[in-house]
Amino acid sequence: MTIDPIHQFQVQRYVELLHVSGVSFSFTNSAAFMVGIVAIIFFFLTFATRGRTLVPGRMQSVAEMSYEFIAKMVRDSAGTQGMVFFPFVFSLFMFVFVANVIGIIPYTFTVTAHIVVTAVLALLVMGTVVVYGFFKHGTHFLKLFVPSGVPSFLLPFIVVIEVVSFLSRPISLSLRLFANMLAGHIALKVFAFFVVGLASAGVAGMFGAVLPFAMIVALTAMEVLVAILQAYVFAVLTSIYLNDAVHPGH
Amino acid sequence: MTKISKLTLSVALNACVLLGSTVLAVAAGADGHGEGGFPPFDVRHFFSQIVWLLLTFGALYFLMSRVTLPRIGRILEERHDRIARDLEEASQRRAESEAAQAAYEKALVEARGKANTIAGEARNRLSAESETNRKSLEATLATRLEEAERRIEATKTQALSHVRGIAVDTAQAIVSALVGTQPSTGDVEGAVDKALAAKPAA
């Protein structure tokens, strides 16, 4: 095996389902993990709430806490009207969270370390903001780019800035998650290769390998933090952006 | 529910837009990149990933919004209702117990008042009775005293009336013993009466 810290991100085609003029549609390891993530989320939450007990057990508490956590997040950011997006934000958070956490396990594939995945998620968010905003408020939605109380001579600049900031949202939203996942996993792999390299260099090397190994332990702990934090950040920013769809007038 | 369906519509619209634009983008850029690039930027796998992401995320969204979240929401709501109901019942019970306490205290006060009244009545009755007894006794005593006084007076008067007779007899006897002649009863009576009048009885 060659030293290749980006091998872990390789998409492998398991079954090619369709191939039309250079575009292929296949069942890949990425797809398998996505299906697995959805299955884990659904079956865990269903299993955890199977008792529907009045006094929750441990698992039911986890399910209820995640529910209340996201519900509070959406309500705080987007208000009560924003609660229409609660299932959407909840799905997003759970998907990103489980994808990130699963990715920390060695030999797994990190779905969210692919920019196309995070970009689609981010575009889904922004697309929802735009579509729902126009659907609900019509042209009034454009007020989002025209803040009130701004001197008229500044208004054109402000509008340009608002538009640019709006357009940069999906980019920052997707890049943040993608870069965090990618960088963390590459760092982990690099240190893992140090361990292997040093350990194969003799007895002294074996002792030396303890250092990068300790580093892996520390980095893994940090990756767990990052995985949870990035899922949280993604969900919070989503709620804040969705607030624009509900209340475009600020 | 209409809000949910609106949202579902917007998400679905979104997905179509995304998918369409990506197909075009990928088709245009498919030839540009060869094998063995940086995997996350490997355009050849973009289409599959997007489609699978939309499928799986769509399924997740459907399952969450239709099955899981209503289920958890119902559990939370039931608990919330139960707690509210229990609290309400508890406050009701407390009000009941407070009412019972108040009733008990009221009864206690009433009973105490009644007892006081009865005791007062009894005391009044007894003192009135004893007063009557005392008065009747006093009246009897006064009557008897009066009678006794009257009797004493009568006896005294009688005794006094006898004094004159004795004095007359005695004087007649003394005179006859000294003088040797029997004075007439009329003279002696006159002398005694004179002496009595001169020296009133002490």
Please check whether residue B155 lies inside any domain of the structure: no
Any residues with CB less than 8 A from the CB of B192 and at least 6 apart, and which? Answer: B164, B167, B168, B171
Q: Which of B42, B67, B93 is the last residue of a domain?
A: B93
**What pLDDT does residue A126 have?**
93
Cβ of A90 within 8 Å of Cβ of B64? The answer is yes
Please check whether residue B118 lies inside any domain of the structure: no
Q: Which residues of A touch B33 (CB under 8 A)?
A: none
pLDDT in tens, B126-179: 999 999 999 999 999 999 999 999 999 999 888 888 887 888 888 888 888 888
Give the residue-averaged pLDDT of A66-73: 94
Q: Can you tell me the distance from the alpha carbon of A59 to that of B115, in angstroms, rounded to the nearest whole number?
A: 66
**What pLDDT does residue B33 have?**
46
Other beta carbons within 10 Å of A178 = 23
**What pLDDT does residue A95 have?**
96
Name the token pair of A161.
Answer: 């800035």
pLDDT in tens, B34-76: 455 788 888 888 888 999 999 999 999 999 999 999 999 999 9
**What pLDDT does residue A244 have?**
86
> The tokens 């959407």 sit on which residue?
A88
Question: What residues 76-115 of chain B have any CB closer than 8 A to a CB of chain A?
Answer: 76, 78-79, 82
- Between B119 and A146, name the one with better pLDDT: B119
pLDDT at residue A250 above 70?
no
Q: Which residues lie across from A18 on neighbouring strands?
A: A25
Which residue in chain A is spatially nearest to B54 when comparing CA positions?
A120
SS3 at position B7 = helix
Q: Which residues of B touch A102 (CB under 8 A)?
A: none
Closest partner residue to B75 (CB to CB) among A11, A38, A64 is: A64
Report yes or no: B73 at the A interface, CB cutoff 8 Å. Answer: yes
Cβ of A38 within 8 Å of Cβ of B63? The answer is yes
**What pLDDT does residue B147 have?**
94
Please check whether residue B6 lies inside any domain of the structure: yes
- Between A79 and B21, name the one with better pLDDT: A79
Residue A74, Cβ density class (10 Å: 0-12 exposed, 13-18 middle, ≥19 buried): buried
Q: Which of B57, B65, B79 to mutate to test the interface with A (most CBs of A within 10 A)?
A: B57
Give the residue-averaged pLDDT of B12-22: 63
Cβ of A38 within 8 Å of Cβ of B57? The answer is yes
Q: Can you tell me the distance from the alpha carbon of A26 to that of A103, in angstroms, rounded to the nearest whole number?
A: 21
Please check whether residue B16 lies inside any domain of the structure: yes
Query: What's the structural domain count of chain B?
Result: 2
Q: Can you tell me the distance from the alpha carbon of A40 to that of A194, in angstroms, rounded to the nearest whole number?
A: 33
Cβ of A63 within 8 Å of Cβ of B54? The answer is no
Report yes or no: B25 at the A interface, CB cutoff 8 Å. Answer: no
Cβ of A121 within 8 Å of Cβ of B53? The answer is yes
* Inter-chain contacts counted by CB atoms under 8 A, chains A and B: 168
**What pLDDT does residue B26 have?**
56
pLDDT in tens, A198-231: 888 888 888 888 899 999 999 999 999 999 999 9
Cβ of B72 within 8 Å of Cβ of A86? The answer is no
Report yes or no: A18 at the B interface, CB cutoff 8 Å. Answer: no
Length of chain B: 202
Residues B88, B9 within the same domain? yes
Query: A151: pLDDT confidence band, cut at 50, 70 and 90?
Result: confident
Q: Which residues of A touch B31 (CB under 8 A)?
A: 22
Q: Which of B93, B111, B132 is the last residue of a domain?
A: B93
**What pLDDT does residue A1 have?**
46
Residue A230, Cβ density class (10 Å: 0-12 exposed, 13-18 middle, ≥19 buried): buried
Please check whether residue B45 lies inside any domain of the structure: yes
Please check whether residue B136 lies inside any domain of the structure: no
Q: Report how far apart, in Å, the C-alpha atoms of A248 and of each of A144, B8, B9 are.
A: 5, 20, 20
pLDDT in tens, A8-64: 888 888 887 877 777 778 888 999 999 999 999 999 999 998 888 888 889 999 999
What does B20-85 look like in DSSP terms, one character per residue?
A: HHHHHHHHHHTTT--TTS-GGG-GGGHHHHHHHHHHHHHHHHHHIIIIIHHHHHHHHHHHHHHHHH
Three-class SS string for chain A?
CCCCCCHHHCCCEEEEEEEECCEEEEEEHHHHHHHHHHHHHHHHHHHHCCCCCCCCCHHHHHHHHHHHHHHHHHHHHHCCHHHHHHHHHHHHHHHHHHHHHHHHCCCCCCHHHCHHHHHHHHHHHHHHHHHHHHHHHHHHHHHHHCCCCCCCCCHHHHHHHHHHHHHHHHHHHHHHHHHHHHHHHHHHHHHHHHHHHHHCCCHHHHHHCHHHHHHHHHHHHHHHHHHHHHHHHHHHHHHHHHHHHHCCCC
Mean pLDDT of chain A: 90
Report yes or no: B15 at the A interface, CB cutoff 8 Å. Answer: yes
Name the token pair of A96.
Answer: 């990103």
Q: Which of B33, B67, B93 is the last residue of a domain?
A: B93
Name the token pair of A119.
Answer: 């970009």
Domain that holds residue B183: 162-198
Q: Which of A8, A17, A67 to mutate to test the interface with B (most CBs of B within 10 A)?
A: A67
**Amino acid identity for residue B21 in this structure:** S
Cβ of B48 within 8 Å of Cβ of A49? The answer is no
Angle at Cα B176 formed by Cα B174 and Cα B177, nearest 5°?
Answer: 65
Q: Which residues of B touch A124 (CB under 8 A)?
A: 11, 14-15, 18, 57
Do residues A94 and A41 make contact, with C-beta atoms less than 8 angstroms apart? Answer: yes
**Amino acid identity for residue A127 in this structure:** G
Residue B55, Cβ density class (10 Å: 0-12 exposed, 13-18 middle, ≥19 buried): middle
